[in-house]
Amino acid sequence: MALLAKGTWAVVMDEERAIILENTGTVDRPHMQEVERIAAEPLARYSDRPGRVHESTGDQRSAMEMPDLDRIAGARLAAHVVTHLKQVAGDRPVLIAAAPQVLGAVRAELNRQDALAGPGKLNLLGTIPKTLTGMPASKLPPILHAALDEV
């Protein structure tokens, strides 16, 4: 059974923001305090219709798909957060809770940056596929404990 020891960081994120919280309480009575808030860089929204592509044969044209800006913003934020954590987390245990699509980007970024091995590696307790950014910090410890038990 994993516990939220004193000094453990919990990163709660979605496509728009990441909040780094630290347990300043004890194992029995955790108290999550905000350390830092990281916002995603805004992406330009498209206002016109999607582009069209001419087919190689004939006069037919096909519509191009609009880019998924939320997914792109989530992937950029995941890369930024992993890089930032490698620089500032030190030996602290880190728990990451994110929306499932963002968590996929975080896991890919952890592998790409080799963040779990070598110098400056993260002490990753686990990852939780839940969107918890709207929860108050006081209600997070029981949710994180329950999720850690499932990991």
Q: Tens digit of pLDDT for each residue in 54-78? A: 777 777 777 777 777 788 888 999 9
Backbone angles phi, psi at 114, to 5 degrees: 50, 45
Backbone angles phi, psi at 14, to 5 degrees: -140, -160
What gap in Å lies between CA 137 and CA 98, rounded to an integer? 15
- For residues 141 and 21, is the Cβ–Cβ distance under 8 A? no
- For residues 18 and 38, is the Cβ–Cβ distance under 8 A? yes
CA distances to 29, 71, 77, 88, 119 from 140, in Å: 12, 25, 22, 22, 31
What gap in Å lies between CA 109 and CA 104, rounded to an integer? 9
The position carrying tokens 């952890």 is 110
Would you state the pLDDT for residue 61? 75
* pLDDT above 70 for 105: yes
Banded model confidence at residue 46, pLDDT cuts 50, 70, 90: low
Which of the pair, 103 or 116, is modelled with greater confidence? 103
Would you report the helix, strand and coil content of the chain in percent, each value rounded to 5?
A: 30, 25, 45
123-138 mean pLDDT = 88
pTM listed for this prediction: 0.81
Which residues neighbour 131 within 8 Å (Cβ) at sequence distance 6 or greater? 14, 98, 99
Q: How far apart are the first and last CA of the chain?
A: 9
* pLDDT above 70 for 48: no
CATH architecture for segment(s) 9-42+70-150: 2-Layer Sandwich (3.30)
Would you state the pLDDT for residue 1? 44
- For residues 70 and 77, is the Cβ–Cβ distance under 8 A? no
